[in-house]
Amino acid sequence: MREINTNGKYSAVFGAYAEPIATVAPGEVVRLYTEDAFVGRLTRADQVPKEVRGDGNNPQTGPIYIEGAEPGDTLKAHILDIEMARDWAWSCLAENMGGIVASAATRLINEPLEERVWMYKYEDGMFRNSENLYFPWDPFMGTIGTAPGGGEAISSLVPGMHGGNMDVPDVKPGNIVYLPVNVKGAYFSTGDCHAKQGQGEVCGAALEISSYITLKFELIKNKKILWPRIESPTELVCVGSMKPMEDAARIAYVELLEWMIELGWEKYEAFQCMSQEVEVYVGNIVNPIYSLVAKIKKDIAYRCSNK
């Protein structure tokens, strides 16, 4: 297994302008370090988020150049493992962050909440802050993505068709993430590991932690997807990122419908099946663009499989 060294340099965007930190061949297994969302600057409960946050938040490990990747291919990222890189995590209330407060996107004139920090220490299988606040280690990557096309470079705070800051708990060990390749080499990046997060990341922060991620990449040549897809051992999962939230949900539903059609379903039978069996949850309600997740059990989707 090959270690990829970031040398303490991170990316603030998903794009193809920066020099790749490594070139990886399909089939190779690599292990990466990812920094936490505030670049490791938040270490004590008496710190003030807006003072340590800075401009450089949500640092990405990448870009990684994938050998042989061409626009129109699909990149498969197998998430083999996430290991905690330290035995503590933080969470916080940061000004104008969160799904049920005024924010830069939902711009209102109410006063912001007071900022607050929670520190968690890992003990006995739990991240513990107090006798009420303790949560199990259930890690996933908040961000994962490729470079968008058309010369765009998208902030690592924003999710989209390229993946990015989706904050979707299904991006976890054991699952495969499918991403569109929009530029030669794909320019893959990932980061922002969460030790634990509920659906929506509603206060604006999960249990934020630095981690080591083990990945294996594969390419599906000449197979174009529009939006990220995830395959778990038992489910097919689609992520739509858009505002308002119904438009994110619509993308996730239609992408899943199209996946079922690719498997062999007649369009309206697939639609009927989804109406009775799909599950749809909120990935994030806190980023500049929301992510919604639609999924269906493989044993149902594969009733019409030509796989």
Question: Restricting to residues 90-149, which ones interact with a second copy according to CB under 8 A?
Answer: 91, 93, 99-102, 105-113, 116, 118, 130-133, 135, 149
Q: Within 5-24, which residues bind a second copy (CB under 8 A)?
A: 11-13, 15, 17
Binding to a second copy, residues 172-211 (CB under 8 A):
196-207
Q: Distance between CA 72 and CA 86 in Å, rounded?
A: 38
- Contact between 56 and 155 (Cβ < 8 Å): no
Closest CA to 195 of 133, 252, 239: 133
How is the beta sheet containing 126-128 ordered, strand by strand? 88-93, 116-123, 126-128, 134-136
Per the listing, tokens 């030669």 go with: 184
Amino acid sitting at position 287: N
Between 166 and 206, name the residue whose CB sits nearer to a second copy.
206
The footprint of a second copy on this chain (CB under 8 A) covers a number of residues equal to: 81
For residue 151, count CB atoms less than 10 angstroms from its CB and return exposed for 0-12, middle for 13-18, buried for 19 or more. exposed
Residue 103, SS3 per DSSP = coil
Q: Please report, as residue ranges, which positions from 238 to 267 form the binding site for a second copy (by CB under 8 A).
A: 240, 242-247, 249-251, 253-254, 257, 265, 267
Shorter beta-carbon distance to a second copy: residue 118 or 214 = 118
51 vs 269, which CB is nearer to a second copy? 269
Q: Binding to a second copy (CB under 8 A): which residues in 37-76?
A: 55
User: What is the rounded CA–CA span in Å between residue 86 and residue 107?
Assistant: 36
Contact 288, 97 (CB under 8 A): no
In the set 8, 27, 72, 151, which binds a second copy (CB under 8 A)? 151
Q: How far is the CB of 179 from a second copy (least distance, A)?
A: 18
Which neighbouring-strand residues pair with 117? 92
Least distance CB 62 / a second copy (angstroms): 13
Residue closer to a second copy by CB (options 8, 54) is 54
Stretch that binds a second copy, among 21-29, 73-81, 214-222, 237-245 (CB under 8 A): 237-245
- State in angstroms the smallest separation of the CB of 260 from a second copy: 10
Closest approach of a second copy to the CB of residue 176, in Å: 23
Q: Which pair of tokens denotes residue 98?
A: 């969160």
